Amino acid sequence: MGRKKSTEDMVYAYVDYELEDDTYLQGMKGNATYREIKEWIKAEYGMSVSSLYVAQIKEKCGFEKRQNYNIGENKAHVPNCPPEKEKAILEAFKHFRMI
């Protein structure tokens, strides 16, 4: 047993709608790639940050991380992020609505 659907009753309309501001996005968390974060910091502060520093601050903020398959033997020295770069990365997180 089946039911036929009449296509004559359906009306489709295209509505072009642009919001004047971004208030509808206020409750949503943002997302940015490492490259976007690094480029924004370079443009705003004129300093370069490494992906390692961004990852360290993401970990400090408690962001969810993927599994690292390239873990090494733990023999290398890992530098810590300097405070001025940490502040810049946190500002980038705020800019991209990640925090």
Q: pLDDT digit string (tens) for 36-58?
A: 999 999 999 999 999 999 999 99
Closest CA to 48 of 57, 60, 35, 62: 35
How much is the average pLDDT of 28-42?
89
In this structure, what is the dihedral angle of CA atoms 78, 52, 92, 24, given to the nearest 10 degrees? -130
In this structure, what is the dihedral angle of CA atoms 67, 86, 63, 53, given to the nearest 10 degrees? -10
The pLDDT assigned to 31 comes to: 84
| Helix 51-61 with 83-95: angle, nearest 10 deg | 70
What whole-number distance in Å separates Cα of residue 80 and Cα of residue 56? 8
**What is the pTM assigned to this prediction?**
0.67
What whole-number distance in Å separates Cα of residue 43 and Cα of residue 49? 12
What whole-number distance in Å separates Cα of residue 33 and Cα of residue 70? 20
